[in-house]
Amino acid sequence: MKKTFLFFLMTFLLSWSTSKAQVGGNDYIIMLDNGASTTDQGFIDMKRGAVKLIEQLIACNRRNRVAVVHYGAGKYNDTSGIYTPIIYIESDFIGDQFIAQNFDRRLDFGDHLNEALGLVSNALDGTWNGDIISTQTTLSNSQPLKVVVFTDAERNTGALDGSYLVNYLNTTLNAPAAFKNVLAFKIDRQAQFTMIHANTNTSAVQAAASIASSGGSYMGSLETNVDDPDYGIWPRQYYNRPIGFGMLSSEMEYWKDMAGTICNSSGWGTVNFRYEPGECISHASGIGGTYNLPPGATLVHLRLEIGNIATGDIHPIPFNPTIVGNSFNTGLQPSDFDYAVNAGATGKYKFRIIMVYNYGGVTYNTYSWNNYPYFDYDIDMDCTLKTAPKEITKETIVKLTPNPTEGVFKVMLDSEIQSGQMEIKDLNGNTVFSKAIRKTKEIEADIIRQLQGVYLIRITSGNNEIYSGKIIKK
């Protein structure tokens, strides 16, 4: 009896010490500036960045939760209203990435961060306010609070349809009153701020950097705020984006690195992978990554699935990767998607890897999404239907130079094409360049007027030979 009691006591203590070793999560408010200076393309880039960061935050710590909040001064595509600071809350704090990522632009016309924070404060307190125009009007905060702001705002420009990082009613330089609601969050709620700022104006940069909490890597100048708990402390969690929210080819780890700064994964297993989207299952390629386990934990298995980015529908994908050390990789084949095809999967999907591991006698799951920061989806299940009637006899990856490009580049083929057609499309499927080809193996293309990002190249010869590639516009 004594031995039995000791056994259960040791089991309880081991389980308790394991749970104590796993750090708790955070509640993240992801605030998106919907002001007039945010173009539709700018919002697409902003959303992609926000979604990629959300994926990293949820992958970092399984207890993390996020809530997406838009702020502006009027409804998107509705000019009938009077300019006034408003917010739109997509959902309460949630740890489900497929729900968290499912949002569109809601607002427009102006951006007032200080006033938006006042409305978010109402939501956190459960206080009704008519300027919270979404169905979701409250936020149930139960963990340490962090606020991540995506904005291109000026310090203080214009009227209610203008752009304001600081208090609309008190814009005094270097005055705590200019940061009224930021201070309320930092002092009363012990909240931390991360600022992702697409602006190079000195006064705007200094104000945004002053709002940012300590941490990160920013060592530049800030606007003075003597009441700030972070006053006199560097570095700051300020990330300047001089070219907007689109990612450069050199920024592959941007969102992963940021999440590593603002999220604590201590005691939790993590997994990361990359897959270069080929759009169609006929172009499926290799998938590989790494995983890390807390000391004493053992890997049970890795699972792969695809989730519809609009509906969240999940379909399993056979996955038996080669594992060497803590690295894994495998090549995907069209037949791996048979279950999804037979189940009627349509639309655009993302890969998700689930790592199942045992720690202290308890089984845990942790997740990861594709770490490539350039793509909104990994697989288009519709293109199998679109291309099914066409018999493809050959497909070749073309050489592109220079890649990345500032606009003008060459497509190099191994052999001459007698006739054919080249198309360049953006990731939304829009054709941005088209050119007839005749008796050539070297084709010049120009996308200098296009926004930075990844573009898909497809050449179809008169013999139905297919040539494809991806170019990155700097």
CATH number at residue 297: 2.60.40
Most confident of 98-102, 241-245, 427-431, 436-440: 241-245
Per-residue model confidence (pLDDT) at position 384 = 54
Other Cβ atoms within 10 Å of 22 Cβ, number: 20
Distance of CA 467 to the CA centre of its chain: 30
Per-residue model confidence (pLDDT) at position 357 = 98
- Of 7-16, 174-183, 189-198, the least confident: 7-16
Instruction: Tell me what the mean pLDDT of segment 170-182 comes to.
Output: 99
Whether 160 and 209 share a structural domain: yes
Whether 416 and 449 share a structural domain: yes
- The CATH number assigned to the domain holding 33 equals 3.40.50.410
Question: Which two three-digit tokens encode residue 302?
Answer: 């890795």
Whether 277 and 320 share a structural domain: yes
Whether 288 and 246 share a structural domain: no
427 belongs to a structural domain? yes
462 belongs to a structural domain? yes
Res 453 pLDDT > 60: yes
Per-residue model confidence (pLDDT) at position 266 = 85
Whether 242 and 98 share a structural domain: yes
Where are the extended beta strands (E) located within 270-326?
270-275, 286-292, 298-308, 314-317, 322-324
Instruction: Tell me what the mean pLDDT of segment 333-338 comes to.
Output: 92
DSSP per-residue string spanning 170-184? ---TT-GGGGHHHHH
Other Cβ atoms within 10 Å of 384 Cβ, number: 18
Residue 371's domain comprises 270-383
Query: Of the candidates 208, 234, 262, which is a domain's last residue?
Result: 262
Total structural domains within the chain = 3
Whether 221 and 280 share a structural domain: no
Whether 258 and 299 share a structural domain: no
Query: Of the candidates 334, 350, 383, which is a domain's last residue?
Result: 383
Res 18 pLDDT > 80: no
Tens digit of each residue's pLDDT (9 = 90 or more) over 360-385: 999 999 999 999 899 899 999 988 54
Whether 227 and 340 share a structural domain: no
Per-residue model confidence (pLDDT) at position 397 = 67
Instruction: Tell me what the mean pLDDT of segment 175-196 comes to.
Output: 99
Share of the chain above pLDDT 70, in %: 91
Q: What are phi and psi of 329, to 5 degrees?
A: -160, 155
12 belongs to a structural domain? no
Query: Of the candidates 238, 262, 286, which is a domain's last residue?
Result: 262
Whether 190 and 56 share a structural domain: yes
Q: Are 89 and 139 contacting, i.e. CB atoms less than 8 angstroms apart?
A: yes
61 belongs to a structural domain? yes
Whether 171 and 68 share a structural domain: yes
Res 14 pLDDT > 70: no
C-alpha dihedral, 52 to 56 to 59 to 64, nearest 10°: -100
3 belongs to a structural domain? no
Report the residue count for the chain.
474
Whether 305 and 236 share a structural domain: no
Task: Mark residue 348 as left, alpha or beta (left: phi above 0; alpha: psi -120 to 50; beta: remaining).
Answer: beta
Q: Give, in order, the Cα–Cα distances in Å from 140 to each of 23, 62, 88, 122, 180.
A: 20, 18, 15, 11, 23
Res 404 pLDDT > 80: yes
- The CATH number assigned to the domain holding 429 equals 2.60.40.3080
pTM: 0.78
